[in-house]
Amino acid sequence: MTSPVAEAQGFVAYDEATLRFYAQEAEVYAARARAGASRRLNAFLGRLEAGARVLELGCGDGRDSEAMLARGFDVDPTDGVEAMARQAETRLGRPVRTMRFDELSATEAYDGVWANASLLHAPRPALAEILARIFMALKRGGIHVATFKAGGAAGRDGLGRYFNYLSAAEAEAAYRGAARWEILSIQPYTGGDYEGGQRPWIAVTARRPS
């Protein structure tokens, strides 16, 4: 029998209940998704050269990958749930890889790594290892942006999904403890969620030093 939080390669890597939720709700989730790209995507892309190679972690229905491809970026969209990846494939008209965060093994392959509302599902014990993998996947000078629901204590929402609910200080500590990240900003903001409410979020922008 597997535990609710599965373990891989010596660290707690993913939450099975959360993956199961997205597998079961993939079609509904994609149907409810907004048409436009995430509001912080333009700022992220503005830090990259034209045509840069971008990895998206947790692409969901594919709306942000769609926007990046439309602007001429070389995008590698991925999602940890196969059913969600298939929804993104339908939207994008191209293959989308099924890949959990702990399966990332690229080395200096990407100019940017975009993780909007995805790393917030990573169990806290796994976060440093995952951030180290992202660091290694970036080329030197590469940019990474991730958004997290803010909080201070991990927990589940009304739908049973796990969230790490990091404070700004906890997010900074996780990045600095994972690798030689250059933290460019950690910005608080108010944003929505799948349940229809508004809550505090933080956006982390970091760079792998040249």
* Domains identified in the chain and CATH numbers: 5-207 (3.40.50.150)
Beta strands in 39-195 (DSSP E): 53-56, 74-79, 97-98, 110-115, 138-149, 155-156, 162-163, 182-192
The tens digit of pLDDT for each residue in 180-199 reads: 999 999 999 998 877 767 89
pLDDT averaged over every residue in the chain: 92
Check pLDDT > 80 for residue 7.
no
Confirm whether pTM is higher than 0.85.
yes
Give the residue carrying structure tokens 């790393």. Answer: 119
Instruction: Assess contact for 44 and 104: CB atoms under 8 A.
Output: no
